[in-house]
Structure 1
C-alpha cells in the first residue's frame, strides 16, 4: 500500500465526519464527470440525495459503480525554491461502490444523517419535497484514507 495510505476505519470515519463536500465521480453516455454533493456515512454506506431527474440522477439510476473522494485540513506546505518541492498537507478519503435507491425507513435515515451532519440537529421535512427527492445508498466496496502531513 502506498505511503500514508490506510484502511483504518477510525481514521477513515474521522475524515468523512469532518469533510464538508464529497466529490462524486460518475459515468454516463457523455462520459465521466464529477459533482460535489452533501453526504453522510454510516456502517459502510454513503448516503447522498438528489432530484429524480438530471444528469446525476440518470447516472445513479444506471446502477453503474461510482467513485468518490473528499479532503480535509488542506494547506500548502512550505517548499524550497523550485516548483518540484511544492505541495500540500491534507487528510483525504477515496472510495468506490455501487449506488442503490434507498426507500422507506432507509431513505429517511439517510436524510436524517445528512441533516444532522450539516445542521447539527434534526429538522422537519417539507412533505411536498420528500416525494420528489431520491436518497441513494452507496454500498462501499473500497475505502481508504491518505494522510500527507
Structure 2
C-alpha cells in the first residue's frame, strides 16, 4: 500500500467494515480478462460467504480460476477544503477493505442452511424458512480472505 499513513488494518476494524457494508465486489480473471461483480455477502471472521445462482458467467469464470480479489467500501462523506485558495485539499471519508482469496463451493447442505440463515439475518433482520429445494439450488461461495488491508480516510471513531 502506497499510503501507509492510511493503513489501519486490524481484526476489530476488519469485522467493523465487513459488518457495516452490504455489498462486496468480487474480482475474477479468466483468459487474462478481468471480471468484477457486486454481490451481497456475510462473513464469519475473515471468511466470506456469498450466495448466488449455480450457473452463469461468474460460476464459469470461478470454475476456470478460483483465485479472487475482494473489495468492500464503507462510504463516508465529502469533506470540502477548509480554504478557497486550494480546492484540491477537499477529500472524502471512507474505509476500504481489500483482500485476496480462493473460492470454494460449499456442498454441505447444513452449512448452506447456516449461511443462508446468516444472509437472511443480515439483510432481513431475521432468519427465514427456506424449502429444501431452494437450499439445494443455491450456490454458496466460501472465501478465506488473505493479504487483507484496510485503508481509511477521515475519523471513524
Which residue of structure 2 lines up, in the alignment, with residue 96 of structure 1? Answer: 100
Whether 1:38 and 2:8 are equivalent positions in the alignment is no
Is contact 1:50-1:57 (8 Å) kept? no
1:50 to 1:30, Cα distance in 2 relative to 1, 3 A? farther
Q: For 1:11 and 1:43, locate their aligned partners in 2 and report how far apart those are by CA, in whole Å.
A: 11
Which residue of structure 2 lines up, in the alignment, with residue 118 of structure 1? Answer: 123
Query: How many positions carry a matched residue from both structures?
Result: 149
1:65-123 C-alpha deviation (Å, 9 max, x unpaired)? 11111112422111254563333111121111001011213222222222211111100
1:59 to 1:45, Cα distance in 2 relative to 1, 3 A? same
Q: Which runs of 5+ in 2 are unaligned?
A: none
Give me the TM-score of the superposition, normalised by structure 2: 0.85
1:38-79 C-alpha deviation (Å, 9 max, x unpaired)? 001103210001111111111222343111111124221112
Which residue of structure 2 lines up, in the alignment, with residue 130 of structure 1? Answer: 135
The alignment's C-alpha RMSD in Å is 1.8
Runs of 4+ residues deviating >3 angstroms? 80-84
Q: Which runs of 5+ in 1 are unaligned?
A: none
